[in-house]
């Protein structure tokens, strides 16, 4: 499909309820705020809205004390904010990957970032090194560089070759992680739990990094949103409109992958959010990437918050298990819904 003129491009960008998008964005923002309060209230010690409000206000004023203050500020607030940032980063990165690679099954882990992080973290645990997060991040970046090198063809990067390179490198590193688990001995449980993802060990020191990563992807995606729309309608037309597709693809994929590497390094591998949320947002609001990025940011944060709430209610079950169990059937339902819409 190609964009024959600027009017057609504008119509495509406005497809999917453009006039109601600001209202729904505010609605989802309010839902995110309510979900944050719900997430803070849930735990071994339940907290009411009044207790949470009091703890938040007194904490900001520097006058907080007592059990509620400690629970909110030292445990649940950083954990919940991290969940929002992680969900938002994975969701918006999924939008970028699907738009640039022109593949509805693309996700933030397509280039092997998760496999690289898993290998680095597993190696650190097996060797007993207290640098799990740095090694996980280094593993992600090294894997990304390798995939990028394999996927290049001269001065250009082909989406199909990138995907195939990610699959190959991810498979090799997956086998390496399996070997490390076999050699881990008593540490195998620690390795497995890390691989499944969790927010239980998140502290305030990680929260700024997660939000900075999320914000950079969002702002850069919004900057290139019109170009992303043109690429989705046809790479040749995008180039004819003056879009440097190769440069944009390199910048967005590298930045999104680095943001995903930060997420995985701090919180482990959490699947389905980066794949599922963009499809949910696209089904509701159409393919325009500017709107899609913002809505996906909000929906991703909400989804991850409730996944973390479910994790706590089920005795700290890994968040990755929650998202996989809920995401698989939901993704199938979305596919059936899209099929019905296409037929109708």
pLDDT at 202: 92
Tokens of 314: 């089920």
Specify the length of the chain in residues. Answer: 344
CA-to-CA dists, residue 209 to 141, 163, 215, 273, 320, angstroms? 16, 27, 10, 19, 21
Domains of the chain: 6-343 (1.10.3470.10)
Question: Cβ-count burial of 60 within 10 angstroms (0-12 exposed, 13-18 middle, 19+ buried)?
Answer: exposed
pLDDT at 11 over 70: no
Instruction: Identify whether the C-beta of residue 213 lies closer than 8 Å to the C-beta of residue 89.
Output: yes
Give the containing element (helix H, strand E) for 230: helix 225-233
**Alpha carbons 273 and 90: distance in angstroms, whole number:** 6
Instruction: Identify whether the C-beta of residue 319 lies closer than 8 Å to the C-beta of residue 39.
Output: no
3-state secondary structure of 46: coil
∠260-263-267 over CA atoms, to 5°? 145
Tokens of 137: 């991040």
Q: What share of the chain is helix, strand, coil (3-state, %, to 5)?
A: 80, 0, 20
pLDDT at 5 over 80: no
- Taking the CA atoms of residue 48, residue 53, residue 59 and residue 61 in that order, the dihedral angle to the nearest 10 degrees is -150
**What is the per-residue pLDDT across 163-182, written as a single tens digit (0 to 9) for each?**
999 999 999 999 999 999 98
Instruction: Identify whether the C-beta of residue 107 lies closer than 8 Å to the C-beta of residue 277.
Output: no
**What is the per-residue pLDDT across 232-285, written as a single tens digit (0 to 9) for each?**
887 677 777 888 888 898 899 999 999 999 999 999 999 999 999 999 999 888
**What is the per-residue pLDDT across 204-237, written as a single tens digit (0 to 9) for each?**
999 999 999 999 999 999 999 999 998 888 767 7
Under DSSP, the state recorded for 130 is S
Q: For residues 112-141, give the mean pLDDT.
A: 93
């Amino acid at each position: 499909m190609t964009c024959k003129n600027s009017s057609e491009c504008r119509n495509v960008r406005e497809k999917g309820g453009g006039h109601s998008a600001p209202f729904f964005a505010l609605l989802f923002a309010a839902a995110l705020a309510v979900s944050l309060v719900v997430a803070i209230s849930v735990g071994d010690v339940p907290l009411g809205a009044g207790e949470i409000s009091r703890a938040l206000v007194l904490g900001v004023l520097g006058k907080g004390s007592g059990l509620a203050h400690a629970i909110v500020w030292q445990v649940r607030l950083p954990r919940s904010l991290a969940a929002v940032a992680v969900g938002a980063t994975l969701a918006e990165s999924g939008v970028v990957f699907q738009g640039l690679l022109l593949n509805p099954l693309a996700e933030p882990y397509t280039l092997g970032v998760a496999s690289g992080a898993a290998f680095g973290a597993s190696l650190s645990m097996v060797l007993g090194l207290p640098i799990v997060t740095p090694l996980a991040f280094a593993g992600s970046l090294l894997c990304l560089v390798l995939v990028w090198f394999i996927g290049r063809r001269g001065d250009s990067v082909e989406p199909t070759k990138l995907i195939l390179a990610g699959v190959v490198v991810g498979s090799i590193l997956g086998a390496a992680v399996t070997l490390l688990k076999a050699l881990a001995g008593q540490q195998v449980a620690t390795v497995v739990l890390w691989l499944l993802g969790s927010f239980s060990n998140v502290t305030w020191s990680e929260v700024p990094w997660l939000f900075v990563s999320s914000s950079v992807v969002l702002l850069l995606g919004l900057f290139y949103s019109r170009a992303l729309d043109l690429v989705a309608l046809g790479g040749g037309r995008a180039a004819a409109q003056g879009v440097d597709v190769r440069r944009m693809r390199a910048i967005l994929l590298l930045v999104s992958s680095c943001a995903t590497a930060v997420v995985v390094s701090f919180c482990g591998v959490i699947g389905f959010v980066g794949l599922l949320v963009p499809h949910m947002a696209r089904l509701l609001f159409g393919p325009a990437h500017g709107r899609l990025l913002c809505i996906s940011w909000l929906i991703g944060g909400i989804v991850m918050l409730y996944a973390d709430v479910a994790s706590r209610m089920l005795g700290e079950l890994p968040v990755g298990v929650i998202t996989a169990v809920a995401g698989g059937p939901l993704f199938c339902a979305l596919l059936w819904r899209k099929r019905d819409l296409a037929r109708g």
